[in-house]
Chain A
Amino acid sequence: MAIAEAETGVIGGIAAKFRTCPATGLKIDLAAEKLIKVNAIAAVVFLLVGGVFGLLVALTRWPAVHLLSADMFYLVLTAHGLDVLLLWIIFFEMAVLYFASAVLLNCRLAGPKIAWLGFILMVVGGVITNIAVLQGESSVMFTSYVPMKASPNFYLGIILFAVGALLGCFVFLGTLVIAKEEKTYEGSIPLVTFGALTACIIAIFTIASGAIILVPTWLWSLGYISHIDTLMYKLVWWAMGHSSQQINVSAQVAIWYAIIAITVGAKPLSEKVSRTAFLMYILFLQLACAHHLLVEPGLSAEWKVFNTSYAMYLAVLGSLIHGMTVPGAIEAAQHKNGFVNGVFEWLRKAPWGNPAFAGMFLSLVLFGFLGGISGVVLGTEQINLLLHNTLYVPGHFHATVVAGTTLAFMALTYLVLPLIFQREVIWPTLAKWQPYLFAAGVAGISLFMMGAGTLGVSRRHWDITFSDAAISFDYPAAAFLMMGLNGVSAILASIGGGLFVLIAVGSILFGKKVDASNIVQALGPMPTKQVSPAVKEYGNAGTFHLPGTYILVGVFFISFVLYYFVNWKYVSELWPMG
């Protein structure tokens, strides 16, 4: 009973209630712990709601099933985007921010009351927007492009939610300041906290952009403003919409580093390189709204080419670096753990039965191969002519946001349950398979949607047979096959996602309590770690030989280059235009 053991003590000079973590010896501020819990629970609730909506969408787009009516389909699709892309992810990120600051820095949380206010605003905002959508007057899609108008509460709810999230960001920054002042750690903040700080800084930019566009749009929906320029709306909206995905990338990469540290004892190959890569996200992704405006009238080609790449793709470079340093850190750590035979023993004997590790590694691979490559291809000015607003776009972002971010968050949850909720994971065998099931389903969703998009199938479209249209048209038969396979994959992903919700909620309610006696076992199977003093021998100048990682990265790079140029070949076959 950890709560009973809670001590009133001093963290860095100021009284706070805390407990001592039996696994790490860190002092955990109980106020922070509670906030992590409620944010994580809210996240899972919205994942469940949004996930069910997602399944309904996929079943409707499966031509043989075609479940919902047209108006219900557009309503549910709007709600799906809001609940998973915004609510599930940002609630979980709030939990990550509090964990990466108060817990990892051994510090009390700054202003827990402000954090609670933020949480309440987020819940109220999320509920208001959901109600607005479910009432049927706001089926405007997640992007709500003007001059299509939603009910005022649709915008108001998002604004309240964003204000709440902003308060959470300030609490995080405040905690960093306290930790530094009260010297609760030595030297620089941990890499994971650095990644979370990256996410927080991008979040503040994102929320500011959101306010700049959503506040006037809300006033417009109330009748106080007569006109919102359609192009300006998109430009500023995507400064929020795209940047918010960079919050996810930063948070998810930070989580990768955290999970490999805990499960295999990995430390970064080079602090300098990994931190610089995070910094690139801040410096070179903020205005990536250009990715969404590549086939828009009214913007110059120079503007598009420059802003989609900043001349050298430095943000992509950031991800390419993490794509090498994360598996590299695992390989180096596994070498230290004794797996030195052959090129891939380190990978074969990684803790694949630990859902935290398995989920993390699947997230890394799927994010890189499916999400990363397709994202760069989509964001190439001329190639965008082929793919804009086709199903390729949701195919891409389901690989990044679902296979990448969501899977990483799920993986982390398997560690958060014992460490923060102090509960063992119930049904360990099911938990072991959950990441694989979910990953297989999401990989299918992403690939088949990208396939259908390559064949021209429109996104956000109720009926690809065009049965009610005055002019008939048929997409190729292969596109129908893709949509069917997408439906099957969505069912698989839903089973994986549903299992996750069941395990998470079940563990919180019925999981065996965790204390010093079973904490290590509760974290799941892991290799015997041979960290310090051996750990000092790798990392930085001591990192040398990582043949397995070089091969993996080589395969990735060749796939990237080939796929990139295949798409240029498709572009060259389009009707000449200028």
Chain B
Amino acid sequence: MAISPPENRIWWNEPVARGELVWVVIAFLWGLVMFFMMVYWHINGEQNLSTEVYRIEPDKFAEKTEAFTEKYTVREEADIPVAKPPPGSDVYMLSRLWEWWPILELKKGETYRLHLSSVDWQHGFSLQPVNLNIQVHPGLDHVVTLTPTETGEFSVVCNEFCGVGHHTMVGRIHVVDK
């Protein structure tokens, strides 16, 4: 029994039953399939997280975001500027206690270089209802190349706990037709 020493002292030489062996082989092959799925998706899939990341001082990132917002603001919503950058350009969204800033207006089917960073604690960029979730760190400028495929009003919920106002931290991305 499992609570007493093996009856056969040379247990490591005992043969393994067929059924057990077959299952070990199936399970092993399944592990390989799962590994290669990730590799395959990097080659043929369209949803892979960018690894383009730069170290940046939080102040510097805030400055860049402000310059970007000033340049492209088209209107305000709830006292937050709405920036409408040209397709293909560098787009900034800054996270801080407790907001995503500014609001963005993007065009469907166009690709943007979205810069994400925090000026204080860690935050979680959770794009809803698309359900796309990316961690945001202070000091790291993460450039995500993103192509919206549907129009509408999307929300950015913070899903990394960031203090007592965490649940009020919501941002907005509009996606419009060309």
A residues near B (Cβ < 8 Å) are: 70-71, 74, 104, 139, 141, 145, 147-148, 185-192, 230-231, 257-258, 260-262, 265-273, 294-301, 305, 308-309, 311-314, 316-317, 320-321, 324-325, 328-329, 376, 380-382, 384-390, 454-456, 458-464, 466, 468-473, 475-476, 531, 535-536, 540-546, 549-550, 553, 557, 560-561, 564, 568, 571-572, 574-578
Q: Which of B78, B130, B139, B162 contacts A471 (CB 8 A)?
A: B78
When C-beta atoms are compared, the residue in chain B nearest to A391 turns out to be B159
Beyond A270-B16, A273-B24, A575-B147, is A295–B5 a contact (Cβ under 8 Å)?
A: no
When C-beta atoms are compared, the residue in chain A nearest to B1 turns out to be A261
Mask for B125-164, Cβ within 8 A of A = 1, else 0? 0111111111111111010111111000001011111111
Does the CB pair B2–A260 fall under 8 Å? yes
Q: Which of A74, A192, A269, A312 contacts B3 (CB 8 A)?
A: A192
Q: Which of A71, A148, A231, A267 contacts B140 (CB 8 A)?
A: A231
Beyond A266-B1, A389-B124, A460-B161, is A147–B167 a contact (Cβ under 8 Å)?
A: no
**8 residue pairs, one from A and one from B, having the closest CB atoms:** A313-B31, A297-B142, A458-B159, A257-B2, A540-B14, A473-B155, A576-B46, A320-B27
Beyond A328-B20, A471-B171, is A305–B5 a contact (Cβ under 8 Å)?
A: no
Does the CB pair A544–B17 fall under 8 Å? yes
How far apart sit A301 and B39, CA to CA, in the bound complex (Å)?
9
Specify which chain B residues have a CB less than 8 angstroms from the CB of A269 in the assembled complex: 17, 20
Specify which chain B residues have a CB less than 8 angstroms from the CB of A297 in the assembled complex: 51, 53, 116, 134-137, 140, 142
Specify which chain B residues have a CB less than 8 angstroms from the CB of A384 in the assembled complex: 133
When C-beta atoms are compared, the residue in chain B nearest to A543 turns out to be B17
Specify which chain B residues have a CB less than 8 angstroms from the CB of A272 in the assembled complex: 11-12, 14, 16
Specify which chain A residues have a CB less than 8 angstroms from the CB of B157 in the assembled complex: 456, 458, 461, 466, 473
A-B contact pairs, 13 of them (CB 8 A): A147-B121, A148-B121, A187-B5, A187-B9, A297-B51, A305-B42, A382-B45, A385-B134, A461-B166, A470-B168, A471-B171, A536-B7, A577-B145
Does the CB pair B28–A191 fall under 8 Å? no
How far apart sit A149 and B81, CA to CA, in the bound complex (Å)?
31
Q: Which of B32, B49, B139, B159 contacts A390 (CB 8 A)?
A: B159
Does the CB pair A321–B23 fall under 8 Å? yes
How far apart sit A322 and B147, CA to CA, in the bound complex (Å)?
44
Within 8 A of A (CB), among B10-69: 11-12, 14-20, 23-24, 26-28, 30-32, 34-35, 37-39, 41-42, 45-51, 53
Beyond A141-B161, A297-B140, is A553–B17 a contact (Cβ under 8 Å)?
A: no
Does the CB pair A258–B38 fall under 8 Å? no
Specify which chain A residues have a CB less than 8 angstroms from the CB of B168 in the assembled complex: 463, 466, 468-470
Specify which chain A residues have a CB less than 8 angstroms from the CB of B77 in the assembled complex: 471
Specify which chain A residues have a CB less than 8 angstroms from the CB of B142 in the assembled complex: 297-298
Specify which chain A residues have a CB less than 8 angstroms from the CB of B17 in the assembled complex: 269-270, 540-544
**Counting CB contacts under 8 A, is B105 at the interface?**
no
**Counting CB contacts under 8 A, is B172 at the interface?**
yes
Does the CB pair A462–B34 fall under 8 Å? no
**Nearest CB on B from A154, distance (A):** 15
Specify which chain B residues have a CB less than 8 angstroms from the CB of A262 in the assembled complex: 3
Specify which chain B residues have a CB less than 8 angstroms from the CB of A543 in the assembled complex: 17, 19-20
How far apart sit A185 and B36, CA to CA, in the bound complex (Å)?
45
Beyond A328-B20, A557-B26, A575-B130, is A267–B31 a contact (Cβ under 8 Å)?
A: no
